[in-house]
Amino acid sequence: MTRAAHAAGFRIERTTRAGRAGLVAAVLVLAALVTVPRWGDASTMRILVEFIALLVLAQMWNLLAGYAGLVSIGQQAYVGLGGYALLVLADDLGVNPFAAVPLAGLVAAALALPTAALVFRFQGGYFAVGTWAIAEVYRLLVANSSALGRGSGRTLKAVFPLARETRELTTYFLALAIGVAALVAVYAFLRSRWGLGLMAIRDSEPGSEALGIDVFRTKLGVYLGVAFGTGMTGALIYLNLLRVSPDAAFSINWTAYPIFIVVIGGIGSLEGPLIGTALFFLTRELLADQGAWYMILLGALAVGAMLVYPRGLWGLVADRWDVRVFPVQRRVAWDRPAREP
């Protein structure tokens, strides 16, 4: 707070009461999650790993589309590349399979650079289709590679020597670490000056450029960072599933689920993907045997949300009660009216 602002009778605030409550709640949830291996069984941990993976994918897509305005339909490229990078690093190059997970994220980010050189030539709708087309190119290249097992894929063998409990426990804590790191990283990024610049770009590209923000580099940075997070999550998913095949690893569902989660939960907020992922898992348990109907329901909810509540469920809550659990906005708080002489 500057002296000038104080003299003018207002302060710039970011911390909210809900934010402090949210921090306490987040710590409690994390503490509960740490104790899961003590009382939960393997299937509970497997579902939680899946939950965390989808939550991170949703947060990443939300950062990309909801904040940077890069509406990609091709993020499955990085899930697939992450999964295959894990396979090559752990099975072919002898890297520890758990250490290979963050390295797989780096591989995805490295491949995102030439990809960006191509897709950044497009804007809006054609960017969306362009990213999708390139994801297909990656899928077909992998499916044509005999070293990667062609269309039928390969099984991750590096984890076989490990005891099953060790593998499950390590995978679970790795997932937890990735989930927390992703959430903290996105939150810290959005509260930083780069995050402020990103939100300025979202609101007006020419305006932010005039203020000295490098629009291209900011967007490219977000695209690469998101590719890292998505690739790491892809590796985590296949550390959990153990069997990698091109059609599954490069499936459009790895982008469709996050899109539905984010749009229904609330795009352009950190709370939205959390709510969306919870809702996604709840409805999936209810409609377990109805694969196609489940997707129709999700699609219809997302289309309906876009038409009626473009900021999703969290937008409704935030507007109704003015709460921000993860406040990234700066707001003006007026002091008591100054006593006029």
Partner 1 sequence: MAWVDTILQGLLLGGLYALFATGLSLIFGVMRIVNLAHGDLSILAAFLAVVVVETLGWNPFAALVVVVPLLAALGYALQSLVLNRLLGRGILPPILVTFGLSIIIQNALLETFSADSRRLDPGGIETASVALGSQLAVGWFPLITLAVAVLILVGLQLVIGRLSLGRAFRAVSDDQETAELMGIDHRRLYALAMALSLAIVAIAGVFLGIRTTFTFASGPDRLLFAFEAVIIGGLGSLWGTLVGGAVLGIAQTVGAKLSPAWGILSGHLVFLAVLLLRPQGLFTKARRVA
Selected range binding partner 1 among 27-35, 63-71, 210-218, 316-324, rule: CB under 8 A: 63-71
Q: b vs e for 35-64, b when ≥16 Cβ sit within 10 Å of the residue's Cβ?
A: eebeeeeeeebbebbbbbbbbbbbbbbbbb
Residue 199 interacts with partner 1 (CB under 8 A)? no
Residue 162: C-alpha distances to residues 82, 168, 324 (Å): 22, 10, 44
Looking at the Cβ atoms of 114 and 337, the one nearer to partner 1 is 114
> CB–CB of 271/277 below 8 Å?
no
Least spacing, CB of residue 247 vs partner 1, in Å: 11
> CB–CB of 277/62 below 8 Å?
no
Residue 256 interacts with partner 1 (CB under 8 A)? yes
Looking at the Cβ atoms of 162 and 303, the one nearer to partner 1 is 303
Rounded distance, CA 70 to CA 285, Å?
Answer: 31
Looking at the Cβ atoms of 181 and 256, the one nearer to partner 1 is 256
Provide the phi-psi class of 232: left if phi over 0, else alpha when psi is between -120 and 50, else beta.
alpha
Rounded distance, CA 44 to CA 115, Å?
Answer: 37
Residue 52 interacts with partner 1 (CB under 8 A)? no
> CB–CB of 259/61 below 8 Å?
yes
Among 22, 80, 83, 130, binds partner 1 (CB under 8 A): 130
Residue 13 amino acid letter: E
Least spacing, CB of residue 37 vs partner 1, in Å: 36
Among 10, 122, 194, 309, binds partner 1 (CB under 8 A): 122
Residue 15 interacts with partner 1 (CB under 8 A)? no
Looking at the Cβ atoms of 44 and 290, the one nearer to partner 1 is 290
Provide CB contacts within 8 A for 317, sequence distance 6+. Answer: 271, 323
Selected range binding partner 1 among 94-102, 139-147, 174-182, 321-329, rule: CB under 8 A: 139-147
Residue 286 interacts with partner 1 (CB under 8 A)? no
Nearest partner of 327 among 191, 221, 211, judged by Cα? 191
Residue 181 interacts with partner 1 (CB under 8 A)? no
Least spacing, CB of residue 59 vs partner 1, in Å: 17
Least spacing, CB of residue 125 vs partner 1, in Å: 3
Provide CB contacts within 8 A for 125, sequence distance 6+. Answer: none
Among 296, 319, 330, 331, binds partner 1 (CB under 8 A): 296
Residues near partner 1, by CB under 8 A: 65, 69, 71, 73, 118, 121-126, 128-130, 132-134, 136-137, 140-141, 143-144, 252, 256, 259-260, 263, 267, 291-293, 295-296, 298-300, 302-303, 306-307, 310
